[in-house]
């Protein structure tokens, strides 16, 4: 995991908590509208994959428990984890690519409604992603995966060698020698695992993404509406397909790459098609990056342009993340898959407590404020959600008062304490379990293990009725909180 060179250790500092009266008068606990969807307060639990779905993408009791636990803290909105819009196997990640997923998702929306007493709105994040292969054993790569083409033969001066001989020869070379023979892409497939890109125009299923994706997103959004979700968040952030279309690294030559107007085209077409499918009444927004935080990637200026275009097109909210790209990810172990949160951009997405002088708390706020300005300058009042190390009332309220954002997102702080917003609202902020930004939870996500928080996953885990992880070592949800009023 990448860390800033300075390696300064930062302790969380939630500051003073308000009294009930102060909380009631605050902006944080005041209502806000996402288009026609009214939120009771400006508190937001962003998407977090907890690795609790079945292997074929269905909602389980553990998924229901996980979101119900967040709902007990009664935030303004909860966004269900990245959920795949295609009907293809994708491991224990939630899916919405077929009508058979709707009953399970409906059970989830009903449970959350009950657990929050109807106070929290529930959205679902819709994602498309391209294929990423695990890092191969070099021997296997040379025996099976590498395409032996004329270029390789030429470089080796081996035009007449049988293919098997070439494979065996390459298998015996070191990385420096291989780099003279293989293309950069082949070297990457060997070192990191083969990964498709939106710019792979030689592949038909990639070339036709602009024709295929609008319908896939639209039908998925309709299913979300039918399952009782209050809205959908189109996942245009991090390392996935739609973010790759927006990226400054997208040089497709079919009108969907190059200039930023072209890079925004598919995301706008997807939104238009989704809107047509679910109607004007339904809440549709997106999550995108305020900064890709990679060399040659989008900057905050690009993001300001995209934000203004999305708002003008009629999106109901814009949720801002940052970084989280494959481009600068670290090399995985053999047999492991590349994880887009291991490089500098990954650090910017989920900054940990070992940081630079700026620290991990509120790193996305300045960029968010800039993008909000760009959206307001375009004449739109679309609410902006910001995340990144936000863990205290003063910090959250300050961001809203200075009009740097309209809604406060807190992922890891909500994982550390799903009741934290409620505790603050009830004047019991001193009882909040404060996130230490250790990224233990993110480490579990990286290993595709059930995500929990180290601050509570060993507490009272042997009490009868407490559900535990598959290895029995950790409890699956945070202990209950009984307000002392």
| Shortest distance, position 21 Cβ to ligand FMN, whole Å | 27
Per DSSP, 100 falls in state: G
CB-based contact 320:287 (threshold 8 Å): yes
Contacting residue, 359, 389, 392, 418, with ligand FMN by CB under 6 A: 389
Judged by CB under 6 A, the chain residues 45 through 84 that form the site for ligand FMN are 46-49, 81-82
Closer residue to ligand FMN (CB): 238 or 252: 238
| Shortest distance, position 126 Cβ to ligand FMN, whole Å | 11
| Shortest distance, position 361 Cβ to ligand SF4, whole Å | 12
- Residue 110 phi, psi (nearest 5): -70, -40
| Shortest distance, position 321 Cβ to ligand FMN, whole Å | 5
Of 7-15, 32-40, 292-300, 441-449, the window that binds ligand FMN (rule: CB under 6 A) is 441-449
Q: Tell me the C-alpha distance between 291 and 474, whole Å.
A: 35
Contacting residue, 442, 450, 475, 478, with ligand FMN by CB under 6 A: 442
- Does residue 232 bind ligand FMN (CB under 6 A)? no
Q: Tell me the C-alpha distance between 451 and 457, whole Å.
A: 10
Residue 178 to residues 142, 158, 219, 327, 334, Cα–Cα distance (Å) = 11, 15, 46, 21, 18
Q: Which residues of 9-23 are buried (b: 16+ CB within 10 A; e: fewer)?
A: ebebebeebbeeeeb
Contacting residue, 28, 190, 216, 237, with ligand FMN by CB under 6 A: 237
| Shortest distance, position 369 Cβ to ligand SF4, whole Å | 25
Of the CA atoms within 13 Å of residue 78, those in its CB half-sphere come to: 32
- Does residue 220 bind ligand FMN (CB under 6 A)? no
| Shortest distance, position 415 Cβ to ligand SF4, whole Å | 4
Residue that the structure tokens 């409906």 belong to? 106
CB-based contact 92:51 (threshold 8 Å): yes
Q: Tell me the C-alpha distance between 349 and 244, whole Å.
A: 16
Contacting residue, 136, 257, 388, 429, with ligand FMN by CB under 6 A: 388
Closer residue to ligand SF4 (CB): 244 or 342: 342
- Does residue 412 bind ligand FMN (CB under 6 A)? yes
Interacting residues with ligand SF4 (CB under 6 A): 412, 415-416, 435-441, 453-455
| Shortest distance, position 96 Cβ to ligand FMN, whole Å | 13
Q: Which residues of 418-432 are buried (b: 16+ CB within 10 A; e: fewer)?
A: bbbbbbbbbbbbeeb
Binding site for ligand FMN (CB under 6 A): 46-49, 81-82, 125, 235, 237, 287, 321, 349-350, 387-390, 410-413, 441-442, 445, 451
């Amino acid at each position: 995991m990448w860390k800033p060179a300075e390696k300064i250790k930062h302790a969380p500092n939630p500051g003073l908590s308000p009294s009930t009266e102060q909380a009631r008068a605050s902006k944080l606990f005041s209502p806000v509208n996402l288009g026609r969807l009214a939120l009771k307060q400006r508190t937001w639990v962003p998407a977090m994959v907890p690795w609790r779905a079945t292997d074929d993408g269905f909602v389980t009791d553990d998924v229901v428990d996980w979101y119900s636990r967040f709902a007990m803290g009664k935030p303004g909105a909860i966004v269900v984890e990245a959920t795949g819009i295609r009907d293809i196997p994708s491991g224990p990640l939630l899916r919405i690519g077929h009508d058979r997923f709707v009953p399970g998702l409906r059970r989830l929306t009903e449970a959350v409604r009950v657990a929050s007493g109807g106070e929290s709105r529930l959205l679902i994040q819709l994602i498309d992603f391209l294929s990423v292969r695990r890092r191969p054993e070099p021997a296997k790569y040379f025996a099976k995966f590498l395409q032996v083409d004329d270029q390789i033969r030429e470089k080796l001066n081996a035009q007449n060698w049988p293919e098997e001989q070439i494979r065996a020869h390459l298998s015996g070379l070191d990385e420096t020698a291989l780099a003279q023979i293989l293309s950069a892409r082949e070297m990457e497939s060997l070192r990191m695992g083969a990964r498709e890109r939106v710019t792979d125009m030689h592949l038909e299923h990639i070339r036709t993404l602009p024709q295929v994706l609008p319908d896939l997103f639209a039908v998925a959004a309709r299913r979300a509406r039918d399952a009782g979700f209050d809205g959908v968040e189109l996942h245009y952030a991090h390392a996935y397909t739609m973010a790759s279309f927006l990226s400054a690294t997208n040089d497709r030559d079919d009108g969907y790459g190059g200039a930023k107007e072209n890079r925004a085209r598919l995301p706008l077409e997807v939104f238009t098609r989704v809107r047509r499918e679910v109607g004007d009444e339904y809440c549709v927004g997106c999550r995108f990056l305020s900064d890709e935080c990679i060399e040659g990637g989008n900057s905050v200026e690009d993001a300001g342009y995209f934000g203004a275009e999305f708002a003008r097109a009629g999106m109901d909210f814009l949720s801002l993340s940052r970084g989280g790209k494959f481009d600068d990810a670290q090399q995985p172990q053999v047999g492991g898959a590349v994880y887009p949160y291991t490089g500098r951009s990954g650090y910017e997405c989920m900054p940990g407590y070992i940081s630079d002088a700026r620290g991990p708390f509120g790193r996305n706020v300045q960029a968010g404020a800039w993008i909000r300005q760009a959206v307001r300058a375009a004449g739109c009042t679309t609410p902006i959600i910001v995340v990144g190390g936000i863990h205290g009332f003063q910090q959250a309220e300050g961001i809203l008062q200075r009009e740097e954002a309209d809604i406060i997102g807190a992922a890891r702080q909500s994982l550390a304490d799903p009741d934290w917003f409620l505790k603050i609202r009830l004047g019991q902020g001193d009882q909040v379990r404060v996130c230490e930004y250790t990224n233990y939870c993110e480490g579990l996500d990286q290993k595709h293990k059930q995500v929990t928080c180290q601050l509570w996953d060993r507490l009272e885990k042997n009490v009868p009725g407490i559900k535990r992880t598959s290895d029995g070592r950790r409890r699956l949800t945070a202990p209950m909180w009984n307000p002392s009023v």
